[in-house]
Chain A
């Protein structure tokens, strides 16, 4: 059913038939009615999100320190202690803005995963930028989190070019709808934004196996740089991942949300951040229109308002299982 115009666009009718959700629909029908404004700060401020998560005993990367004043920047050595690798991120950053990853130290320099070297002054300057609010929404003053750098599990690093892929689970009313992995490529330069050439890999909700992958909006089977197969990879500890995701819904109260996680070699799945307006690329990665899952989930939530966490997961695994048989 390929038509000539599919090279350029798809008609609204075709997209509707496939259940593709556009930004206007996402905002008007799912984000606005389900996510009250007052809850946003819980997820827009990573310090608060982490505190909440720790109360719920959700595994998160260990916090080494929080830099909130110029004095903290001056005595950065003390904050860092003897940690060889760490991540600096703004508490109010979004979309990975302002995240600085240091993978090791070498004769007084900090080394980024790409191999680039930073001096102490460079790192301090980055911290000052974070504190001044350069990366925060609306340029408000911010604080910087210094935390454990996830040592991604081997299964994950094998399908990503430098930098560990993260896992995003999108949920409505606590029912996991769709999941994807975002793996970086040479082109995306360690970033996990699909616009910049990262690969989106759809993950089957039922089994945690990868089922479909897109690069620049087109289906791919292999990593363009690493030439490894992207389909049929099993995400480790899938049950824990789903459990953490649904707990994040419970702790924030947001109706429609995305949870980002990473799988650590030693510590298993760690929650990285919660997003109150997750994007729509996940549909491309899975090859499934979100509406096909949003509607059944909304219906189920209405019918069974007292579903427990395990009921929600069980329902999602059954209703949203991939129909593709993976090898």
Chain B
């Protein structure tokens, strides 16, 4: 009986601790318990990282003009640095400075704005004198090649907009002209990575259209940390406009991209450090900034994940969901009695489903496992040793995924392309394990166990997908303690499983 008291005590403590913290957050910090009452916001975070060399450090990051002008929720984190925003004729930059830093440094700058998106790519009127196109200063062969490209582009255009399209069509044509090939080679030597965009900018300038670099960020939560994209800003005679060189014909969609900086400045200018890098993280949030600072300023236990920068926080989006999946597995195995392949395979499968469309995910799973199983049986005729056979299975799964992605793309199922994120090792391992069970216990139990895994994964997915559940897991992670209490209680359940009521249906006392 003593163990029962201990159990109840543990469960009570966990429930009170978890529930209490959640209640405190709700009552004192005013974080809503229910999801979706407030419109969501985008949070775009720039993270500047570098290795300080021991000299005084000055880091200058170009900022989005709109954000500073409209006083969007901006916020800079910079422990040990003095910080200011510098205004240079309407072009803003964040300036951090500090004395004698050494080792790895990270500086953060955040911008928040409504989820509808702000049009950061809209036309801006130029103040002062009309801008002049800058001569890129090409010579010799290169000059001649560039001239002929510009001439061709000009012949088919009537204004700067169509010229822009024409120039980038020339550059990105699959069967590029010889001139472009020559220019490409030159630019790739000078600038790595974004050579084509720089080439386009120079060609526009040569054609008499002033053009310069702009930096944009893709609004996409799943991506994690991303490098800035280089866009092109050009002057059409009246306005400065921004376009994506990869989608030259369309204007920039504010729901998909946030143009961080325009005006042609370098994104980052750093003194006193090396190996500098700027990466961006975008994430959706529901808490307004004033509440968030409250939360971040509070004690360690309460602030939890929000004490972290967005780039680190992003990792927890899925991590906090795993316990919920595990709870579902416990429920379905110990209370219902569904047989699964391995204990936590369904959780991993559910995580994979979260990253793609449910329906195509399940279809892909079935197709890959079936086909993989078939190949696996072919392989087993070759009498391979175990480890090479599993490795061969991984190769087959990879190839199957590639084939399926291509096929589904041709069939017009875009969701299928996400399959590349489907954890391959899980699939290979599932196939290997299933084929063993197939041989040892018969196809009936193999199929039953895979079906069981899929059902459990589906239910887990259903919970993990639910916005309310996700909201609680992310904003009230202390509720996981209550979940833990539930799991501990379930661990002591000694009653019948639902499946046993059926298993023993013919039980007759002899």
Contact = CB atoms under 8 A, between A and B. Distances in A.
The B interface is mostly helix, strand or loop, or mixed, namely loop
B11 to A, nearest CB: 16
A298 B510 CA distance: 23
Interface string B479-510: 00000000000001111110011111111111
The A interface is mostly helix, strand or loop, or mixed, namely mixed
Contact of A28 (B441, B444, B492, B500): B492
Contacts of A129: 385-386
Given A20-B504, A24-B334, A97-B440, A15 B510 contact: no
Interface stretch (A5-13, A109-117, A167-175): A5-13
B504 A196 contact: no
Contact of A218 (B440, B441, B503, B506): B506
B495 A25 contact: yes
B157 to A, nearest CB: 66
Contacts of B386: 129, 132-134
Nearest to B334: A24
B500 A196 contact: no
B385 to A, nearest CB: 6
Interface string B232-252: 000000000000000000000
B192 interface: no
A85 interface: no
A129 B436 CA distance: 12
A148 to B, nearest CB: 23
B501 A15 contact: yes
Interface string B445-480: 100000000000000000000000000000000000
Interface residues of B, number: 29
B506 A12 contact: no
Given A24-B334, A128-B385, A10 B501 contact: yes
B89 interface: no
Contacts of A318: none
A288 interface: yes
Nearest to A322: B510
B442 interface: yes
Interface footprint category on A: 35 or more
Nearest to A121: B383
Contact of B497 (A22, A128, A132, A217): A22
A219 interface: yes
A125 interface: yes
Contacts of B441: 193, 195-196
A29 interface: yes
A316 interface: no
A176 interface: no
Contact of B510 (A95, A96, A218, A288): A288
A289 B510 CA distance: 10
Nearest to B493: A24
Contact of A219 (B444, B502, B504, B506): B506
A8 B502 contact: yes
Given A8-B502, A22-B500, A24-B493, A15 B383 contact: no
Nearest to B388: A132
Contacts of A29: 494
B339 to A, nearest CB: 10
Contacts of A125: 383
Given A211-B510, A288-B509, A9 B494 contact: no
Contacts of A134: 386, 436
A219 B510 CA distance: 10
Interface of A: 6-12, 15, 18, 20, 22-25, 28-29, 95-98, 121-122, 125, 128-129, 132-135, 193, 195-196, 202, 211-212, 214, 217-219, 283-284, 286-289, 322, 324
Given A10-B507, A18-B507, A195-B441, 16 more contacts: A9-B505, A15-B501, A20-B500, A23-B497, A121-B383, A133-B386, A195-B445, A196-B441, A196-B442, A202-B510, A217-B503, A219-B506, A283-B504, A284-B504, A284-B507, A287-B509
